[in-house]
Amino acid sequence: MGDANFFEQQAQNRRRSQWLVAGFVLFFAWVGFGGDLALGLLTADSPPAAYHHVIPIIGIVTSVLAIGVCWYAQHKGAERVLWSAGAWEIIEPATAEQRVYVNVVEEMAIAAGIPRPRIWIVPDQDPNAFATGTDPEHASIAVTDGLLGALSRDELQGVVAHEMAHIQNEDTRLMTLLAGMVGAILLLSDGTGRMLRGGRGRLGGGGKGGGGKAGALGVVVLVIWLVTLIIAPLISRILAMAVSRKREYLADATGVQFTRNPLALASALEKLESATAPTRSIGRGAAHLCIVDPAERSISDVEGLVGDVFSSHPPLQQRIIRLKGMGFQFAKELMAEG
């Protein structure tokens, strides 16, 4: 990848991050002000002494909340992802495996031309890895205990190079934002569902409100509002999965440029594919950050709509086939040079 493509990839990720923030704030504004509109219409025909929803307090609160979530995801999202995974930082390597890990990270940081990221370990026996952070100067890379124990040095180098590619391309900025926002939407959807179940039947307490045209329109707006809340988690999940899947192929290819050893990453992915247990330390909200789906591996092998919705990554076999194809091409070039 040339410098022009590298900088263009970074610029695209910055633009996508800005659009993501704008869309997220607009969604929360609709949730709030849409709810205000529905309540206003439903209570418009109520008796004078009954409650009339006039001040759009819900919209104001949700808009401020959305801005706060975006700020928090931008500035604290990486820390929360590492905290939620139970990761701990290597300050001074204590074992031979940790020393190899630190050395590999330092080598790949030099190959990628970026500052060395902070180095973490996740206490989980399922092999996996992820990178997070707002930019290459404030990035972290984490691998599980299981990954360190399962891979050779070359295979570990391939995995680390893949994560360095995410950091170099600033995928981590976009993906960390997504992790915070998807989590916020899931919380909003769950909280609204509980609120509606608890407050069922409380609107129009006088028994006479909501019978006019305003009330009928209010019901329509309320239905649209509820449908939005129901499908929002699914849409946000599909968005996160689609963004992640495209970037995994690019990170594989870019990582290979750092190591010049595509077969090592292919071998590592084969070992990760054979580990069928989920990475329990990493939640679904951060699944798209990982090198392989932390859920059951069989889900990521399903192509089509089911795989797109329930898996955060493209099928591992497809990635392995592409990497082996790169290895074959490299071998041909070496033979031609010889």
Residue 92 backbone zone (phi > 0: left; psi -120 to 50: alpha; other: beta): beta
Strands 88-89 and 139-144, bridge-based pairing:
unpaired
The catalytically annotated residue of 89, 155, 163, 333 is 163
User: Exposed (0-12), middle (13-18) or buried (19+): which is 242, by Cβ within 10 Å?
Assistant: middle
Determine contact, residues 113/168, Cβ cutoff 8 Å: yes
| Cα–Cα distance measured from residue 222 to residue 204, given in angstroms and rounded to the nearest whole number | 14
Active site annotation includes 163: yes
For residues 312 and 262, the answer to whether their CB atoms sit within 8 Å is: no
User: What does the block give as tokens for 132?
Assistant: 């997070």
* C-alpha pair distances (Å), 299 with each of 32, 125, 251, 275, 316: 35, 19, 21, 13, 10
Please state the φ and ψ torsions of residue 86, each to the nearest 5 degrees: 70, 25
Q: Where are the alpha helices (DSSP H) in the chain?
A: 3-44, 57-84, 96-112, 145-150, 153-168, 171-198, 213-259, 262-274, 297-300, 305-310, 316-337
> Where in the sequence numbering do the catalytic residues fall?
163
